Amino acid sequence: MFDLFWSSILLFEEFGIDKRLLTQLAHQGITSPTDVQQQAIPVALSGQDLFVQSKTGSGKTLAFLVPALQRIIKQKPLSKRDPRAVIITPTRELANQVFAQLRLLVAGSNIVATKILGGDNFNDQIKALKKDPHVIVATPGRLADHIKQKSCFLAGLELLIIDEADRIMDLGFKAEIDLINTEANHRLRQTLLFSATLEHSQIDALSRNLLKSPKKVTLSQSN
Ligand code: ADP
Ligand code: MG
What is the CATH code of the structural domain delimited by 11-218? 3.40.50.300
| Domain-wise residue ranges, the chain | 11-218
| Ligand 1 atom 25 nearest Cα | 30
Mutation choice for ligand 1 from 13, 22, 61, CB with most ligand atoms inside 8 A: 61
Question: pLDDT class for 9, splitting at 50, 70, 90?
Answer: low
Q: Which-ligand-closest: CA of 34?
A: 1
- Provide the β-strand partners of residue 52: 194, 217
User: Is 70 exceeded by the pLDDT of residue 96?
Assistant: yes
Helix, strand, or coil (residue 4):
helix
Q: Which-ligand-closest: CA of 91?
A: 2
Percent pLDDT > 70 in the chain is 94
Q: What is the dihedral of CA 176, 154, 215, 213, to 10 degrees?
A: 90
Which of 20, 14, 131 lies closest to 69, judged by CA? 20
Which of 161, 176, 167, 172 lies closest to 197, judged by CA? 167
Q: What is the ipTM of this complex?
A: 0.99
Kindly state the average pLDDT of the residues 117-123.
Answer: 98
Residues with CB under 6 A from ligand 1: 30, 32-34, 37, 56-62
